[in-house]
């Protein structure tokens, strides 16, 4: 199934006017060969990388054993394990057949069960659910490949709203405390009385000044008449 899906993405000779089933089979065989060669290359690179890592660990353990009073252990005497070319080829065939038969069928079944036509990472995790160490590694890889989540504005707006409400409550509390203070009320009343008294004095002075000015403009007879 995977091979057919992969082949569908490439133009085949059947697209031409003189296309035939033999041309299609030749294209399929070419794709299969390319897939096998690519898989063989990847398996070989993985095996050689593991051999190199094991050799480095063995050298480190050997140095530690030699520094320990010159005594050697079974670890230092252990020979490094290597993969032969035949073993790599056989492992490639095993991985290929497992991927195109059992694994492919399981992935398609999981996606169909979820009413999807696309195989997703969750389907792969379901396949590896029985292998705990593989499942943990796959989950780490999947989490690392996902884009970071965008910050939500909803939380920010609610936080700002709560801060504004708190500030308003604090302001109202301060105003209440200020107006309920007896000393504040007493000073306020004294200031009002003083202002009223000052306004009355200003009015009286203005009236006296007006009378004096009017008297100064009258003659002797007018003053006697008054």
Place 58 in a pLDDT band, splitting at 50, 70 and 90.
confident
Torsion sign across C-alpha atoms 33, 39, 40, 45: positive
pTM for the whole structure: 0.46
Query: Which residues touch 88 (CB under 8 Å, ≥6 apart)?
Result: 40, 43, 44, 47
Specify the pLDDT at position 55. 87
Local structure of residue 120 (DSSP, 8 states) = -
In this structure, what token pair is assigned to residue 105? 């069928």
Cα radius of gyration rounded to whole Å, the chain: 48
C-alpha 99/C-alpha 82 separation (Å) is 25
Label residue 102 left, alpha or beta by phi (over 0 means left) and psi (-120 to 50 means alpha). alpha
Q: Quick check: helix, strand or coil at residue 171? A: helix
d(CA 121, CA 135): 12
Lowest mean pLDDT among 27-41, 156-170, 176-190: 176-190
Residues 173, 171: Cα–Cα separation, whole Å = 5
At 6, list the tokens: 């992969």
Binning the chain into helix, strand and coil, the percentages to the nearest 5 are 80, 0, 20
pLDDT given for residue 26 in this prediction: 72
Q: Quick one: DSSP state of residue 81? A: P
How is residue 195 written in tokens?
Answer: 């202002």
pLDDT higher than 90, residue 123: yes
Give yes or no for residue 9 having a pLDDT over 50.
no
> Cβ contacts of residue 6 below 8 Å, gap of 6+?
31, 35
Query: Hey, what are 46's tokens?
Result: 């993985």
pLDDT in tens, 73-82: 554 455 678 9
Question: By C-alpha distance, which of 94, 122, 93, 90 is closest to 106?
Answer: 122
Measured distance CA(223)–CA(220) in Å, rounded: 5
Give the pLDDT score at 160: 58
Average pLDDT of the segment spanning 158-165: 61
């Amino acid at each position: 199934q995977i091979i057919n899906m992969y082949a569908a993405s490439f133009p085949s000779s059947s697209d031409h006017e003189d296309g035939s089933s033999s041309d299609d089979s030749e294209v399929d065989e070419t794709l299969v060969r390319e897939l096998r060669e690519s898989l063989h290359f990847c398996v070989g690179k993985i095996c050689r990388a593991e051999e190199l890592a094991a050799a480095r660990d063995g050298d480190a353990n050997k140095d530690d054993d030699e520094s320990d009073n010159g005594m050697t252990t079974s670890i230092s005497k252990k020979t490094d394990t290597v993969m032969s070319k035949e073993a790599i080829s056989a492992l490639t065939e095993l991985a290929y057949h497992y991927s195109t038969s059992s694994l492919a069928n399981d992935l398609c079944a999981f996606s169909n069960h979820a009413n999807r036509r696309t195989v997703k990472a969750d389907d792969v995790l379901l396949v590896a659910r029985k292998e705990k160490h593989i499942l943990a590694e796959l989950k780490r890889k999947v989490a690392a490949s996902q884009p970071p989540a965008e910050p939500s504005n909803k939380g920010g707006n609610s936080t700002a709203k709560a801060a504004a409400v708190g500030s308003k409550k604090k302001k109202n509390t301060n105003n209440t405390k200020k107006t309920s203070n007896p000393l504040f009320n007493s000073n306020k009343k004294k200031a009002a009385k003083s202002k009223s008294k000052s306004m009355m004095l200003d009015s009286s002075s203005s009236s006296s000044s007006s009378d004096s000015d009017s008297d100064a403009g009258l003659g002797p007879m007018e003053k006697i008449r008054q």
